[in-house]
Amino acid sequence: MPRSQTAAPQGKSVARTTIGRSLDVYYRDEPRAQRMDALNAQFVSKGSLAFDIGAHVGDRTGSFLRLGARVVALEPQPKVFRALRLIQGRSDRVTLICSAVGAAEGRLKLHLNTANPTISTASADLINAAQRAQEWSDQVWDSTITVPVTTLDALIAIHGLPDFVKIDVEGYELEVLQGLSHQLPALSFEFTTIQRELAYAGLSHLSNLGNYRFKFSLGEEHHMVQSDWISREAVLAELRALPMSANSGDIYAYHF
């Protein structure tokens, strides 16, 4: 989801100031961290294995670590990855990988938003949708790099079947899910109201893999909208009814 950014102060690099703003958002809000831990505790605990796909500066990785889990965290942006490694790399329960995740192993073009790196993306479709959406009108993807790509199946082959996978890759979530053929106990993936069709396709892919039920949270609330796990059809109806202003959220899937 886009976040408002201001111009970089003179004398400071754009990378340092934009990553600094990410640190302000994700690490200096204690109530947010407490909500996130309470939500994640429904899926991971001491000894669990969690994958953090699209880790950015590692706030979710930090939450999983606080809960006692082992974590495999992936972030494809080299500058952001360096911040992730500095913040979370000292733990012996974390494996950090500078790579994207997609439907097949290889390499891909990553579109960088240097003023707001939290929404850098591998999805040209997201950029096209954002250009038509008022809520995203101030976002600019102004550079590209080529990065390695792995898959969830490949990560599982190396690290084992995770108890929980968090996927937040700015419009590339469906491709990540397409690289998964295993039934996972639980996972989450981000959705946006400007690309609801990707959420619908992701729900269908998971339903083909197993008997999943669903909930979702909105924005940075880290609180489920639903009290009970509901069917794919029920969550589809609720997603379709969301106003465009809801902007983004995370769909949670639990295997029964």
Q: CATH number of the domain at 146, please.
A: 3.40.50.150
In angstroms, rounded to a whole number, what is the distance separating the alpha carbons of residues 222 and 192? Answer: 15
Main-chain dihedrals φ then ψ at residue 61, nearest 5 degrees? -55, -45
Nearest to 19 by CA among 104, 155, 118, 150: 118
Q: End-to-end distance of the chain based on CA atoms, in angstroms? A: 30
The helix/strand count (H/E) of the chain reads as 9, 10
Q: Which residues contact 94 (CB under 8 A, 6 or more apart)?
A: 61, 65, 70, 71, 72, 73, 88
The reply to whether 1 falls in a domain is no
Q: What are the distances in angstroms from CA 161 to CA 25, 155, 157, 186?
A: 31, 9, 8, 11
- Residue 112 near residue 139 (C-beta atoms within 8 A): no
pTM for the full predicted model: 0.91
In a domain, 93, yes or no: yes
* 217 part of a folded domain: yes
Is the separation of the CB atoms in 238 and 229 below 8 Å? no
5 occurs within a structural domain: no
Q: What is d(CA 105, CA 70) in angstroms, rounded to the nearest whole number?
A: 24
Q: Which helix (H) or strand (E) holds 196?
A: helix 196-209
On the 0-12 / 13-18 / 19+ scale of CB atoms within 10 A, 60 is buried
Domain that holds residue 23: 14-255
CA distance 122 to 103: 12
pLDDT recorded at residue 13: 37
CA atoms of 222 and 191, how far apart (whole Å): 14
The confidence score (pLDDT) of residue 34 equals 97
Q: Which two tokens stand for residue 150?
A: 């792995």
Query: For the chain, how many structural domains are there in total?
Result: 1
Q: Is residue 122 part of a domain?
A: yes
Q: Is residue 6, in this structure, part of any structural domain at all?
A: no
Q: pLDDT under 50 in the chain at which residues? A: 3-16
Query: Given its phi and psi angles, is residue 54 left (phi above 0), alpha (psi -120 to 50 degrees) or beta?
Result: left
Does residue 151 sit within a domain?
yes
**What is the distance between the alpha carbons of residues 42 and 133, in angstroms, rounded to a whole number?**
34
Sign of the Cα pseudo-torsion (244, 246, 247, 253, in order): negative
Q: Is 36 a member of any domain?
A: yes
